[in-house]
Structure 1
Amino acid sequence: MTPPALTPPALPTPAPAFEPLPRQGYFLLASLALFWGTNWPAMKLAVADMDPWTFRAICFVAGAGGLMLVARVQGLSLKIPREDLKPLIVTAFVNVTCWQVFSAFGLTMMAAGRASIIAFTMPLWASILGVFFLKERMTPSRVVGLALGLLALVILLAPEFGRLGGAPWGAAMMLAAAMSWAAGTVMLKAIRWRMDALRLAAWQLAIGGLPVVAGSLFLGRPESVFDLTTPGALGAIYAALIPMIYCHWAWFKIVELFPASVAAIGTLAIPVVGLFSSALVLGEPLGAADLVALALVVTSLFVVMVLPSLMARR
């Protein structure tokens, strides 16, 4: 039985600055920061043993298959509404294919923690695109929060400037990944989807994964899966299951709940978790700059996610 189509929130009317943010969104953002953050060292372990095309293909098959299985268990139809098909193909390519391919190859050329920092310049691009295409209003709290978060990223990235000059392709690929994710986020928010977040995430991964699976067969080395060491295998299993299944559903739900700029700024905690977990798992160095950046990110999230609600109660 096909469930009734869901009516997405009207666009482009943005939420007022003083409107309380959905409580469910806070939990989803916190879990996203934990699982997507720890995914960076897991991916680094995986691509150290396996070629990026094969790694991403496995992730797509596991992610799309897992989400579709969950949908069927819940009694949901996997039929794509006719009106959703064309935008689904376009957004899947921008939001999923480009992000996954660029980030996987960029990760082979850079330290995992630093790669995550470049990737999460995404809030800057999403906020700018949201103003132009969604007519979202950049309130003072969002501007301050974005500025603090980006300052944290600059502090973390500063030691890498010299190294980036010697390996520009890694930085360029991570920046392309960030921009494609930002564009995909705004597109997801702008389109009036008839599918719920679970089925939308499943089909985005399935459609967005097709070029990657093809790439793994013609450009990759599928046999590299047999080169996996124990750490590489554990990293691949973790990345293919929790981040690809749960985190993608959570992200699509967050975009559904929050304005695009707030959803994007809420991801600023992910590179901090990525940096610290990479230090713990991979032995990548940490310093005083990392602690300063952590404080800035926490302040940024407080300004955007908490402070407006506190001020509204006064």
Structure 2
Amino acid sequence: MAQPALSTTDPASERLPRQGFFLLASLALFWGTNWPAMKLAVLDMDPWTFRAICFVAGAGGLMLVARARGLSLRIPRGDLGPLILTAFINVTCWQVFSAFGLTLMAAGRASIIAFTMPLWASILSVIFLRERMTALRVVGLALGLTALAILLIPEFGRIGGTPWGAAMMLAAAVSWAAGTVMLKAIPWRMETVQLAAWQLAIGGLPVIAAALLVGRPSSVLDLSTPGALGVIYAALIPMIYCHWAWFRIVALFPANIAAIGTLSIPVVGVFSSALILDEPLAGADLLALALVVTGLFIVLVLPSLLPGRSRPA
């Protein structure tokens, strides 16, 4: 039988695996640059249609990878109910709220609100998973959230003018946090690639139906070259590779460490949005970057460097 995709044990008693560090770095790059890509896409086309395309590409691509590895696509007995629930919260809600939020806000700033996710995930993981929030993790989380606050303060006036955009991005953050904790809590019988494929396939069904009923599939014909490139990028690398990588990270790390590790993504989102979309970039962005890097170092690296400490704090 395949090994469970996500362990329900807290690996806090083990050294943090190197694979997890590489995966977090790659997520920062690819999910960070996905924010301006998504913005380019939804500027030209209907968000429902955009997300439907992403789901078809992501689920189909991951299923092809699973079959190429010789894995069955059968859903094990007992996994279907939890799969439907977590797919709706972790995938459907996140994708829909973030896509529509992006239509109302600048891409870089929208990513900042979305990545308050580690705060909610850390709180939920302590309550439901009984994970430890040690001093170093609290400091790292505080530094990351301070960085997000620094980037967000100049946007308070703008957010006040577009409350629905901010509300949607916050809803996206909370749904992703809840989904992350649920993924960690459930003893899955599938491997990571199978779980990721079915999460996207099931989570995408309501979005695909909505795209056909209330969306504008014809908006694909309105795509400019930048918009088309944004759709292609978002549908392939973030939807296929990044979803597999994220599910693997949740399997390797405690939920609160995995969540804190994503704090670098909105920083990449802000800088890449400035480069690609010509969104403003100020000294506050550099300060936020320094705080995030410091926070990640404290949570992910410092524990192994402390004298007499071979285990994470």
1:298 pairs with 273, 282, 293, which one? Answer: 293
Amino acid aligned to 1:273:
V
- SS in structure 2 at match of 1:20: coil
2:234 equivalent to 1:239: yes
Amino acid aligned to 2:227:
G
How far residue 20 of structure 1 moved from its aligned partner, in angstroms, is: 1.8
Amino acid aligned to 1:289:
A
**Do 1:14 and 1:136's aligned partners in 2 also have CA atoms closer than 8 Å?**
no
- Residue of structure 1 in register with 2:2 after alignment: 5
Any runs of at least 4 consecutive aligned residues in structure 1 with deviations exceeding 3 A, and if so which?
7-14
2:108 equivalent to 1:113: yes
Amino acid aligned to 1:251:
W
Query: Following the alignment from structure 1 to structure 2, what is the Cα–Cα distance between the partners of residues 59 and 210?
Result: 12
- Residue of structure 1 in register with 2:72 after alignment: 77
- Residue of structure 1 in register with 2:151 after alignment: 156
- SS in structure 1 at match of 2:79: helix
Taking the TM superposition and a 5 Å limit, the aligned residue runs for 1:16-165 are: 16=13, 19-165=14-160
Query: Following the alignment from structure 2 to structure 1, what is the Cα–Cα distance between the partners of residues 22 and 232?
Result: 24
- SS in structure 2 at match of 1:82: coil
**Do 1:44 and 1:107's aligned partners in 2 also have CA atoms closer than 8 Å?**
yes
Post-superposition CA distance 1:177-219 (Å, at most 9, x none): 0000000000000000000110000000000000000010111
Amino acid aligned to 2:12:
A
**Do 1:99 and 1:177's aligned partners in 2 also have CA atoms closer than 8 Å?**
yes
Post-superposition CA distance 1:75-123 (Å, at most 9, x none): 1100000111100000000000000000000000000000000000000
Query: Following the alignment from structure 1 to structure 2, what is the Cα–Cα distance between the partners of residues 162 and 27?
Result: 37
**Do 1:110 and 1:170's aligned partners in 2 also have CA atoms closer than 8 Å?**
yes
Query: Following the alignment from structure 1 to structure 2, what is the Cα–Cα distance between the partners of residues 288 and 7?
Result: 45
Which structure 1 segments of 5+ residues have no match? none
Amino acid aligned to 2:46:
D
Report the CA distance shift for 1:14/1:257 in structure 2 as closer, same or farther (over 3 A).
closer
- SS in structure 2 at match of 1:83: coil
TM-score by length of 1: 0.97
Which structure 2 segments of 5+ residues have no match? none
Identity of aligned residues (%): 80
RMSD of equivalent CA atoms: 1.2
- Residue of structure 2 in register with 1:15 after alignment: 12
Query: Following the alignment from structure 1 to structure 2, what is the Cα–Cα distance between the partners of residues 21 and 13?
Result: 11
Query: Following the alignment from structure 2 to structure 1, what is the Cα–Cα distance between the partners of residues 174 and 101?
Result: 14
- Residue of structure 1 in register with 2:169 after alignment: 174
Query: Following the alignment from structure 2 to structure 1, what is the Cα–Cα distance between the partners of residues 10 and 169?
Result: 32
Query: Following the alignment from structure 2 to structure 1, what is the Cα–Cα distance between the partners of residues 234 and 6?
Result: 32
**Do 2:4 and 2:191's aligned partners in 1 also have CA atoms closer than 8 Å?**
no
**Do 1:42 and 1:238's aligned partners in 2 also have CA atoms closer than 8 Å?**
yes
- SS in structure 2 at match of 1:209: helix
Query: Following the alignment from structure 1 to structure 2, what is the Cα–Cα distance between the partners of residues 223 and 9?
Result: 39
2:172 equivalent to 1:196: no
- SS in structure 1 at match of 2:71: coil
